[in-house]
Structure 1
């Protein structure tokens, strides 16, 4: 039975992938992300379809830069990055660490983000200059 399932999966793969078609057109979205004028050293950027009809795309932010391929249309943007902070009172956790990681980017740019972007063929670099204070 397992062998039959594997054979069916192998034979069905070309049908599911469109017999070699490259799929829907995607466009490059790239740029810089700063927080209070400083590049975000390491983080994530997520482009989400507001209707949730197509999947999200995510890319790493490295030294303030990101690049990804996204389907055209309006997107909601979520940006996050972690920073290491000391535990209160000089305490340590169960692993013996005296620090913990917390979200460095304000919620208005991630969980409660109102950032929007319309992905188009002629989209130039898309930079995000985030501020800690409103």
Structure 2
């Protein structure tokens, strides 16, 4: 029994040393911030995503609030996706469960060139400022 206890203790201790890919395996990220305007005015609310252009690194996402955003992203060239939705007056969609009431329907109001078919890019640096301003037009 004493041998089993020692073996179990050794296995637990070794497992804590090896771990499951500690912090050193995490990708290095850098602060990214900036402004988003629509037709010269701060975008009231939305989402922003920095997608790795090569598809090798994870995406980074943040909220746009009153035209400003901040997040952490890996270095390199990024495709930037910005979305913003608004309620469609008089339209609702059924909730997920039968007893849930309908909720207001929403629609994406930014042009596709800023989200589904983004043309926006940013190059996140491992040194220096990573401040990016995106001046969007509603068409």
Per-residue deviation, 1:112: 0.2
Q: Which has the higher strand share?
A: 2
Per-residue deviation, 1:101: 1.1
2:117 paired residue number: 112
TM-score by length of 2: 0.74
Gaps of 5+ in 1: 1-6
TM-score by length of 1: 0.76
1:126 paired residue number: 132
Per-residue deviation, 1:22: 7.8
Aligned mates of 2:78, 2:128 — CA distance in 1: 16
CA deviation vs aligned residue, 1:93-130 (integer Å, no higher than 9, x gap): 66566x53110211100010011110002134211110
Per-residue deviation, 1:92: 6.1
Higher alpha-carbon Rg: 2
Aligned Cα RMSD in Å? 2.7
Structure 1 residues 1-134: aligned runs within 5 Å: 11=15, 15-18=19-22, 20-21=23-24, 23-87=26-90, 95=101, 100-120=105-125, 121-133=127-139
CA deviation vs aligned residue, 1:44-100 (integer Å, no higher than 9, x gap): 00000122111101001111110001110000000001112324xxx6666566x53
Alignment check: 8 A CA contact 2:124 2:130 kept? no
Moved over 2 A (4+): 11-18, 20-25, 91-97
Gaps of 5+ in 2: 1-10, 95-100
